[in-house]
Chain A
Amino acid sequence: MILFFLALLVLIFGSFVFELFLPPVLLLHGAVILFVPAVYFYGCVSLPFPLTLALTCFTGILNDLFTIPQSRSHADFPSGISILIYLVPGLLMHGLRPLFLRHRWETHCLLAETGALLTPFILLAQYAMLSFERREIFFSDVIVWRIVGPGLISLLIAPCVFFILTPLSHALGYRPGLPLAR
């Protein structure tokens, strides 16, 4: 279990680095391609509660360090707040863990798509925080696409991530809810 948890940490770190090189999708008004939420949500449904919390801390901190320019004096988006932003959908996904433990491909697919649908929540919460800090809130079609677009892209990405991570977890000897491999 610890090995798989460490593998997830490495994968999340790698996904953040990889995302630095991905251009936004101009067809979706500049919506970005996000791999991290899919990996994170897999961790939430597969790992026990304490490790889910640890994964949330790691993902939230890295999110703030990778995607928000930290000025020396004042930041308009308090670093560390992403831990709480990731926590909410993360706990929702963790609540669906009994479904994951059935180990049926249909339920895995359904969970992946649920995670994809929760991805815009992260961006919406970031936008709400930013608007609160900058004391100005407005919505335009571009803003809506920036929030919804990554979720639509995740609908395609998340099942692939889930179907790659399941064999990886088995390969690393972590088979939650299944009899131990001999």
Chain B
Amino acid sequence: MKGITIAALGAFGIFVVLILLLPQQAKHQLQGALFQLISPVLRTGASVQQELGGVGGGLKRLDELERENQKLKLDNEQLRASNSLLKNLESEVNRLNRALGFREQSAFKLLPAHILSRESATWWNFCTIDRGTKNGIATDMAVVTEDGVFGKITTVAKDVAVVLLVSDESLRVSVSIEGTQEQGIVSGTRASSNYVPDLKIRFLSKTANLKPGMKVLTAGSGGVFPSGLVVGSIKDFFVKELEGVASVTPAVDLASVQDVFVVAGQK
């Protein structure tokens, strides 16, 4: 038994060293293969989640209708139900129209994608989308919505891709502040999440005259994000020992957005 234990420890040690020494490119490919393996599950899970959301919305409407019916003595129940349904359809049509208009007006070639799952990691913010190499997606492509910057592609498999969100601490984007000469680097913080995003611009000048509500735009340097995309708006500005730091409210609602566009070059 002692011999088996020693052999197991030896094998474990060798395995750990091999994994740690594995080139980053190989780990990147391994992650792509893993997400490709689970892509059918991700797609099924996303559609189930969507259907469950629809059921939840339906129950809410029913609840609202019940309250209204109490007021109106149940005389127009069917009419109100159909009205409510039409309202939902209208908002869905409006949302798709906005996305379509954005895609057509954009100077870039945009590939539409749907979010399959949102991450559950504690210290990293990322999500998976239903487009991969077979749709022309590659690593380091920018991901945007009609409202602004969403993130960038880090891992791509054949059918799915992993998007690192703008709220993640490790995604740094060079930005400029509209109406000023100020430039800085925006990134999330470790305490940031999709639901409570916490973005900060660092390396601003200490004398920067920034006011809440000013737009933060991508500067275009770095080669991932084209210039002029909206990142968010200034929430607060404060001066540290060596630099000015601004907190930013992201333009995109990272927790609820469903459809995104991958920037695949210029038109």
B28-A146 in contact (CB<8A): no
B204 to chain A, nearest CB (A): 18
Q: Which partner residue on chain A sits nearest B46 by CB separation?
A: A21
B96 in the interface (beta carbon within 8 A): no
Q: List the A side residues contacting B122 at CB < 8 Å.
A: 31-32, 67, 123, 126-127, 146-147, 150
Contact A70 B31 (CB under 8 A): yes
The reply to whether A83 and B19 contact each other, CB–CB distance below 8 Å, is yes
Partner among B12, B120, B128, B154 whose Cβ is within 8 Å of the Cβ of A53: B12
Q: Is the CB of A17 within 8 A of B195?
A: no
Partner of B5, one of A24, A49, A61, A131: A49
Which candidate, A72-80, A109-117, A154-162, A168-176, is the interface stretch facing chain B? Answer: A72-80
Q: Which of B1-21 contact A (CB under 8 A)?
A: 4-5, 7-9, 11-12, 15-16, 19-20
Is A21 within 8 A of B49, CB to CB?
yes
A24 touches B193 (CB 8 A): yes
Contacts of A150 in B (CB 8 A): 122
Point out the residues of chain B lying under 8 angstroms from A123, CB to CB.
122
Give 25 CB contacts A-B under 8 Å: A17-B42, A20-B42, A20-B117, A20-B118, A22-B120, A23-B120, A24-B193, A29-B196, A30-B193, A30-B196, A33-B120, A49-B8, A57-B16, A57-B19, A64-B27, A69-B126, A69-B164, A71-B154, A72-B24, A72-B25, A79-B19, A79-B24, A80-B19, A140-B191, A150-B122
Most buried by B among A80, A140, A147: A80
**Interface of chain B: mostly helix, strand, loop or mixed:** mixed
Closest approach, in angstroms, between the C-beta of B32 and any C-beta of chain A? Answer: 8
Closest chain A CB from B261 CB (angstroms) = 20
In the assembled complex, A10 has its CB within 8 A of some CB on chain B:
no
Question: Is the interface on chain B under 10, 10 to 19, 20 to 34, or 35 or more residues?
Answer: 35 or more
Which residue numbers of A lie inside 8 Å of B, CB to CB? 17, 19-24, 26, 29-33, 49-50, 53-54, 56-57, 61, 64-76, 78-81, 83-84, 123, 126-127, 130-131, 134, 138, 140, 142-143, 146-147, 150
Other A-B pairs beyond A30-B196, A80-B20, A126-B122, 19, CB < 8 Å? A20-B128, A21-B120, A22-B120, A23-B195, A50-B5, A53-B8, A54-B8, A65-B30, A66-B34, A67-B120, A69-B170, A70-B31, A72-B24, A80-B19, A80-B22, A83-B16, A130-B123, A143-B190, A147-B122
Q: Determine whether B57 belongs to the interface, using a CB cutoff of 8 Å to chain A.
A: no
* B170: A residues at CB distance < 8 A: 69, 76, 134
Collect the chain A residues with CB atoms within 8 Å of residue B30's CB. 65, 70
CA distance A121 to B118 in the complex (A): 24
Q: Report A37 CB to chain B, min CB distance, Å.
A: 12
Q: Which of B22-65 contact A (CB under 8 A)?
A: 22, 24-25, 27-28, 30-31, 34, 38, 41-42, 45, 49
> B119 in the interface, Cβ–Cβ < 8 Å?
yes
- Minimum-distance CB pairs A-B, first 5: A80-B19, A50-B8, A67-B121, A142-B191, A69-B154
CB distance from B44 to the nearest CB of A (A): 10
Contact assessment for B120 and A130 in the assembled complex, using a CB-CB cutoff below 8 Å: no
Asked whether, in the complex, the Cβ of B118 is within 8 Å of the Cβ of A23, the reply is yes
Contact residues in A for B84 (Cβ distance below 8 Å): none
